[in-house]
Structures are given as structure tokens and as C-alpha cells.
């Protein structure tokens, strides 16, 4: 047997709609896609949940693989191959993520570091404190119609 739908009064309906709108708007206001592009020479102050791209990460991983190699090229090759094998999937994932990060930064057109990008639309260059950069962007957004 099917239940009969309950009809809401006009005031209950308005309260329900207002509550849903408030919930959606508060989620939207808090949901910001924040990305920081930098390198190891330009540290940033970022909170958790902020994606940080370090453009020199691929070179640093390559440096780890090539550290303290023997002078003999044949032995050096064998050492690097062993390091790659020992690193397994985790190393491959690190390398893949590092290069993908570089591609992502390049695709956004980042020209200077550090760069704080919000919602892939707004960018603040040169500010290492992510909270301050986001505050600058929010202040700009408040001045826009």
C-alpha cells in the first residue's frame, strides 16, 4: 500500500525552502578550490585542504634517484634501475603526480611564484600566506557587482 503524500502548509514550505537555500549557500561560500603554485625555494603558509604544487618536485625526485651514483656508467645505470624497482608503484605515483602538477600549473598560465589560485579564476602572485591571498581575493569579489 502506498503512503499518501503529506501536504505542507505555506509557512512550513517556505521554512523548508529557506533552510535548503541557506544550507546550499553556506556550502557554496565555504567550497573554494584553492591551489598554490610554488617551489622549494619559495615556501608558503598553507592550511590543510589546500593543494600545493611545487614546480621543482620532478627535479627533486630525479635528484633522489641520481644521488651518490658510482662513476662507472654501467654500475650507475644498474643502481638507478634498482632504485626505480625498489620504489615500485609508490615512486611511479610520485613521479606521475609531480609531472601532472607541473602540467596543471602550466595550463593555468601561472607566470610567477608563489601563486595562489582560487576557483581557477582568481590569482594572487607573490603572497606566501595563503590566508592573506584568499582574503585579498574575497575583498576584490565583494567590490564586484
How far is the C-alpha of 99 from the C-alpha of 116, rounded, in Å? 19
pTM of the model: 0.71
Give φ, ψ of 45 to 5 degrees: -105, 105
pLDDT by residue (tens digit) across 6-60?
444 545 545 544 454 444 443 334 448 999 999 999 999 988 889 999 999 999 9
How far is the C-alpha of 9 from the C-alpha of 6, rounded, in Å? 10
pLDDT by residue (tens digit) across 98-143?
999 999 999 999 989 999 999 999 999 999 999 999 999 999 988 9
Give φ, ψ of 129 to 5 degrees: -95, 110
Residue showing cell 644498474: 78
Amino acid at each position: 500500500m502506498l503512503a499518501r503524500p503529506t501536504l505542507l502548509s505555506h509557512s512550513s514550505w517556505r521554512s523548508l525552502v529557506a533552510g535548503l537555500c541557506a544550507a546550499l549557500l553556506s556550502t557554496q561560500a565555504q567550497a573554494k578550490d584553492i591551489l598554490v603554485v610554488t617551489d622549494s625555494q619559495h615556501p608558503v603558509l598553507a592550511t590543510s585542504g589546500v593543494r600545493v604544487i611545487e614546480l621543482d618536485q620532478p627535479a627533486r625526485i630525479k635528484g633522489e634517484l641520481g644521488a651518490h651514483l658510482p662513476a662507472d656508467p654501467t654500475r650507475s645505470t644498474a643502481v638507478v634501475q634498482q632504485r626505480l624497482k625498489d620504489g615500485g608503484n609508490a615512486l611511479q605515483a610520485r613521479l606521475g603526480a609531480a609531472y601532472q602538477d607541473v602540467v596543471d600549473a602550466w595550463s593555468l598560465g601561472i607566470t610567477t611564484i608563489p601563486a595562489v589560485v582560487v576557483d581557477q579564476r582568481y590569482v594572487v602572485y607573490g603572497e606566501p600566506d595563503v590566508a592573506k591571498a584568499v582574503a585579498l581575493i574575497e575583498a576584490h569579489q565583494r567590490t564586484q557587482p
